């Protein structure tokens, strides 16, 4: 609205020239329609971007956990084991459960009361993500010796977002203890 003084100035000669600031209903509806159309096309793209980002983050976290296990074996001078466990003691072989890392001082491949739990890692959201392992040794656990090598195990971890092969990543581990991300051309099926 304009003030009465500004409107009175033009009253006798012409109609008042008062400028109002704001949107009309037509302007508002047009803007909302444009926003709705843009969101319709953009949201699927954001979903794909979110899934790719989640895949990268989870792969990096898994690689950090594997490197941590290896470094603990080297630093403590004893075997370190990473395995899934639902009770922080026994290795279950179900990689959908939280992972535990512990020093296996007596090399019996299980956690005893005198063996410290070094770390617990929850890497996946059950029902939405899967984690699996294929290895030349036991699929229940991965052992790193004090030298930083695995116990003769070569293999790969499979991380999948959902049950499709569209969003998947793999980490290859070697007997030397080294890990690396699998390239797109060398991905194997292992989801779902």
User: Which pLDDT tens digit goes with each residue over 106-131?
Assistant: 988 889 989 999 999 998 887 788 88
Is the pLDDT score of 3 beyond 60? Answer: no
Per-residue pLDDT at 28: 85
> Residue 95 in contact with residue 133, Cβ under 8 Å?
yes
pLDDT > 70 in the chain, percent: 88
pTM value? 0.75
Mean pLDDT, the chain, rounded, equals 84
Q: Is residue 71 part of a domain?
A: yes
Query: What pLDDT is attached to residue 119?
Result: 94
Q: Is residue 166 domain-resident?
A: yes
Q: Looking at residue 40, what is its pLDDT?
A: 78
State which residues form the domain around 142: 25-186
Give pLDDT, residue 9. 53
pLDDT at 5: 54
Residue 16 lies in a domain: no
Residue 67 forms part of a structural domain: yes
The CATH number linked to 35 is: 3.55.40.10
Tell me how far apart the alpha carbons of residues 157 and 122 are, in angstroms, rounded to a whole number. 15
Would you state the pLDDT for residue 192? 53
Mean pLDDT score, 7-11? 51
Residue 95 lies in a domain: yes
Three-state SS for the chain is: CCCHHHHHHHCCCCCCCCCCCCCCHHHHHHHHHHHHHHHHHHHHHHHHHHHHHHHHHHHHHHHHHHHHHHHHHHHHCCEEEEEECCCCCCCCCCCCCCEEEEEECCCCCCCCCCCCEEEEECCCCECCEEEEEEECCCCCCEEECCCCCECCCCEEEEEEECCCCCCEEEEEECCCCCEEECCHHHCCCCCC
Give how far Cα 37 sits from Cα of 20, 27, 87, 133, 163, Å.
29, 16, 50, 43, 30
Q: How many domains does the chain have?
A: 1
pLDDT at 145: 94
10 domain residue, yes or no: no
9 in a domain, yes or no? Answer: no
Task: Kindly state the average pLDDT of the residues 171-181.
Answer: 93
Tell me the mean pLDDT in the region 15-36: 77
Would 77 be classed as within a structural domain? yes
Report percent pLDDT > 90 for the chain.
39
């Amino acid at each position: 609205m304009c003030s009465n003084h500004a409107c009175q100035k033009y009253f006798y000669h012409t109609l008042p020239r008062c400028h109002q600031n704001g949107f009309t209903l037509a302007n508002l509806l047009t803007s909302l329609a444009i926003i709705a159309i843009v969101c319709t096309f953009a949201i699927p793209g954001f979903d794909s971007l979110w899934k790719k980002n989640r895949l990268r983050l989870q792969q990096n976290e898994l690689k950090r956990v594997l490197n941590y296990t290896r470094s603990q074996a080297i630093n403590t001078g004893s075997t370190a084991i990473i395995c899934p466990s639902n009770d922080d003691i026994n290795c279950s072989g179900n990689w959908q459960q939280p992972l535990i890392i512990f020093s296996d001082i007596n090399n019996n491949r299980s956690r005893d009361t005198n063996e410290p739990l070094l770390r617990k890692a929850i890497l996946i959201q059950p029902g939405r993500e899967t984690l699996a392992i294929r290895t030349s040794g036991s699929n229940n656990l991965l052992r790193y010796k004090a030298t930083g090598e695995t116990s003769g195990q070569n293999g790969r971890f499979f991380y999948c977002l959902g049950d499709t092969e569209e969003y998947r990543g793999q980490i290859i581990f070697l007997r030397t203890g080294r890990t690396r991300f699998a390239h797109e051309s060398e991905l194997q099926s292992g989801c779902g």
